[in-house]
Structure formats: C-alpha cells, structure tokens
Amino acid sequence: MRYSRVRTVTTVGLKVLDVLVELDIDSRAIIQEMDIVGLGDTVIKESKKRVKSAVKNSGIELPNGRITVNLAPSDVKKEGSYLDLPIAVGLLKATSKINADLSDFVFFGELGLDGSLRRVRGVLPILLSLSRRAKGMKIVLPAPNRQEASIVENLTIFTADNLNDLVGFLNGYIEKEPVVYSQPELGSVNGPDMSEIKGQEFAKRASEVAAAGGHNISLRGSPGCGKTMLARRIPSILPPLTMEEAIETTMIYSVAGLLGEKGLIMERPFRSPHHTASTTSIVGGGNDARPGEISLAHNGVLFMDEFPEFRRDVIEALRQPLEDGVITVARAKLTATYPARFMMVAAQNPCPCGWYGDKTRECTCSWYDIQRYNRKISGPMEDRIDIFVDMPRLDFDKYMENSTAESSDEIRKRVIAARKRQSKRFDGMSIFSNSQLGHALLKEYVPLDAASRSLLSAAMDKMKLTARAIDRVLKVALTIADLEESKVEARHIAEALQYRRKT
C-alpha cells in the first residue's frame, strides 16, 4: 500500500477551513479506479476524471490499483475545483514521482486535461486567512492567480503553469522565485464627471451631502430629467478606497468569481441590477451561497433604477442589510455571512406614466394608479432612506448654457474633508460614516440648541416624522455641518428637513 497526505483549504463564504487530502493506493485491486470521499460536491466528484487525464497527458504513468482519496474533516462540505491540484500532488507523492517533504506546503488550483493549472476563484480570502495564522508555510497556486497573490504580505507563494513545472520545482530540478509583494496605489477615479450635468443644483448638493455621510438617497423625477446621469456620477465624488476597504471588496469579488485579471479592486464598486432581478441575485444565495449585488456593492454604490418596479420581496429584503451592513445567507447545508455596507441610490418616476407633476406634459394615470405605484415602497423602507430629492425637467435655456459646472474633483475634496472629520470623531469605533450612528451616539454628537429643538419639534408635527426619520434628519444635519466644518445649528437642520419626502 502507498499513502500520502497533502494540505489544502476549503471556503464557506469568506470563511477559510483547513482540509487534509489523504490518498491511499491499493495496488492489489484489479480495477484501476479512483474514489473521492469526504463530503465533496459534484465538482469535486468530477475531479478524479480531470486528475487522471491531467497526470496521463503530462507524461506521467498512472499507478495500477484502486485509489482512495479522503478529504478530512469528513463532516465539512467541500466545494469548488481548487482541490484538483492537491489531489494530483497527493497521487504523485504516493507514487514517488514527488520526493520532497510536503508538510510545509499548501496546494490549491484547478487542472486542465492537458495538465495545465487554471485560475480559481476565492484565492484572496484564502491567502489573507493563511497570512494571519500561518508561519513558515509555502503556498502553491496556478500562475494565472499570480497578480491576485501579489497583494498579500507575510506569505511565501509560488506559482506553476502545469504539473510538469510543479513536479520539477518540488523535486529541485527547477528554481522558482516566490511571488513579490506589490503595494497597490489607490485613489484614482475614472469615469463620468459631475461637471457634465447641467442644472439640477439642488440634486447635486443633495448628492454631495449623501456622499459625505454615506447616506442613502432617493431621486424622483420625470423621464429624462437626469436621475440616472446623476447616480452614475456619485462614485466620482466618493473618497478613495482605503487599503482595508479595497481588500474587503476584492475578497467578495474573488469569492464570486468576478475578479478577472485584476489583482485588487481599485475603485469603489457601482452596481446597477435590473428591476427584474430576483431576491437571490440581490441578497445572495444559490446552492453555494454566493454573494449578491448588495455585497458586490460593499464600500460602493448600489443603484436601484426604477425602484418601485422591483418585486416587493426584493425591496423588503434590503431593509436588514441597510441597517446592519451585513447579510447572512442561510441554506440547508451551509450558512455564509458577507459584508454589505453600501450607499443605496434609488431612482423612480413620480407615477407609472412618469409625467405626474410635469409642467409641459399631462399625466395619464388615475389617482389610484399613482397611489398604488408609490405605495410599493413601504414606510419602513422609506425610513431607511436619508435623503429624498425631486428633480424637475431641465429647460432649454439651461440646457444651452455654456457655463461649466463644478467638477467632481472639487466636490470630492469637500467630501474627503468631511469624511476625515467623521473618521476622527469615530476613532476606535466600528463606525465609518455619520449614516451608521445609533440613537445614543446621536444625542452625544448632535446637541440641540433652543432654535434647533423648536424647528425639529415643529417639523415633526407638520411632516409626521417617525422617531427613525428624526434620527435620519439629525444624521444628515451632522453631515452638512461636517461639510462646513461647523457644529450642528438650526440652519443645518433646516436643510436636512428639505431632504425628507413631502408626499
């Protein structure tokens, strides 16, 4: 009997678990077959065919007898194609094709039938987890994942192009240099600019306030007034990603298999799902509990165009992650938790035909149709939106103006300054912006003078504000004060009240 042990890992969401691949060859068996046990999914069950073809096409003779592969611990669900490589290495070790001591190595990667190593998803969470808890460990992964591996410190990482390349390296015939850590440069922003928007000064001011405090914002107006145009420019005024935020975001994209050739997500994500999207695609799920759009928008913007057209269950599913900043995807066989701290930008028409309140076109909707359309957004959902903006149609004279509006860079400087004030205020707390403040902290950071208290009291009676809505007003007022480098005064509360929905 011939036996080998190879170390690898598996993932459950963003959680990384150690796996030991044990391989035993019973040469007395007549049939040459491979069995994989240890609660592997269908992809892992199919690994035996890829491994056998990859080994054979690499010019390496397969052993006679029955091969048994055990993935320990046996009670943990394993999934994904990155167990191909450790199974193949275990087979080559058991047949003495590899003579090196593999106790310090961790392998993962997918095999092609020709023996090549192919890119796998989820590499960054694995490497970051190993860098925090492993000393003296050597990692071997496919060469196409090299760029992703270059942003991880404190690990010795080697890459290989194919099985023959790997065998030569492990046996000492080929020398390989470990992947060199590369410090990425963050801060650049590419894309459309705020200066391209003509008019809509109130909406642009509201967007600046929303970006400065991480507030959710709703844009309402007739077709063609510029809602989508404005929403797509909001990322250009957001602060640049910090390294911690960039790694968090990249981990999610890596697990979702959307990283492509990028080693690191350098800009804040902007996700714009279609209104026909299912709940699973928005919040995450499926058989393997993949992250959804709200997690892919983590540290960025989730743009919900035609907001009332989304299914009611989709809209209501946003309530919990908007409050908590995380989403837990529970399935029968596994549970995964993903971060979901995003800025939501919702856009909608005022009515089904889109022309209610427009000065130049007549609305064809009945009052019942208008009410039913707007009732699709429930009261609890509206309470989670800090800023509401009604955008009027742009008139011809404004459209033909030659004056240049303020650029995204100029607005962004003020937003960054406001965020720095918030960072200093919340130093040592797990709070990143004013939008995350709880009621108790609001009382501490937003003391109201007599004029502010009187204004807020009158507004509560007239506008029928809920307690949560008042908290939202105070958060927005604090952000406006941060933009002015001032303490909260009655004028800041007055501006914040303008951003509440009137009808």
H helix or E strand, kind and range, residue 365: none
Instruction: Specify whether the backbone of 210 is left (phi greater than 0), alpha (psi in -120 to 50) or beta.
Output: alpha
pLDDT score for 188: 61
Write down the pLDDT at residue 259. 78
In angstroms, the CA 222 to CA 394 distance is 10
pLDDT in tens, 289-307: 889 999 999 999 999 999 9
Residue-level pLDDT at 105: 94
**The tokens of 65 are what?**
């007898």
210 band by pLDDT with thresholds 50, 70 and 90: very high
Stretch among 71-75, 85-89, 120-124 having the lowest mean pLDDT: 120-124
Q: How far apart are CA 70 and CA 39, in angstroms?
A: 9
Whose CA is closest to 194, among 184, 186, 205? 205
**Cα-to-chain-centroid distance, residue 262:** 15
Q: Where is average pLDDT lowest: 309-318, 454-463, 471-480? A: 454-463
Position 1 pLDDT exceeds 60: no
pLDDT score for 474: 93
The predicted structure's pLDDT at residue 502: 64
What is the DSSP annotation of 398-447? HHT--PPPPPHHHHHHHHHHHHHHHHHHTTTSS--SGGG--HHHHHHH--
Average pLDDT estimate for 261-287: 88
Q: Provide CB contacts within 8 A for 207, sequence distance 6+.
A: 217, 230, 233, 234, 237
Of the listed ranges 187-191, 348-352, 403-407, the one predicted with least confidence: 187-191
What pLDDT, on the 0 to 100 scale, is given for residue 413?
A: 94
Cα–chain center distance at 234: 17
Kindly state the average pLDDT of the residues 197-220: 92
Helix (H, G, I), strand (E, B) or coil at 382: helix
Range with lowest mean pLDDT among 39-43, 48-52, 92-96, 494-498: 39-43
By the 8 A CB rule, do 158 and 133 touch? no
* 344/100 Cα distance (integer angstroms): 53
The pTM for the full model equals 0.84
Rg over alpha carbons for the chain, rounded to the nearest Å, is 28
Chain centre to alpha carbon of residue 151 = 18
Per-residue pLDDT for 174 more than 60?
yes
Query: Looking at the DSSP assignment, which residues form a beta bridge with residue 330?
Result: 335
Q: What residues contact 197, with CB distance under 8 A and at least 6 apart?
A: 204, 226, 229, 230, 233, 405
52/54 Cα distance (integer angstroms) = 6
* Residue 148 near residue 170 (C-beta atoms within 8 A): no
CA-to-CA distance for 181 and 183, rounded, in angstroms? Answer: 7
Identity of the amino acid at 141? L
Report residue 8 as tokens. 């690898």
**The pLDDT value given to residue 43:** 86
Identify the pLDDT of residue 7.
94
What interhelical angle do 467-483 and 490-498 show, nearest 10? Answer: 120
Whether 247 shows a pLDDT value over 70: the answer reads yes
Alpha helices per DSSP H over 284-330: 293-296, 312-317, 319-324
Mean pLDDT, residues 366-380: 89
Quickly state the pLDDT bin for 332 (edges 50, 70, 90): low
- For residue 70, pLDDT beyond 70: yes
**Can you list the positions of beta strands (E) in 155-309?**
156-160, 217-221, 270-271, 284-285, 290-291, 301-304
Residue 333 has pLDDT above 80, yes or no: no
Label residue 11 by pLDDT band (50, 70, 90): confident
What confidence tier does 503 reach under pLDDT thresholds 50, 70, 90?
Answer: low
- Nearest to 145, CA basis, from 158, 136, 164: 158
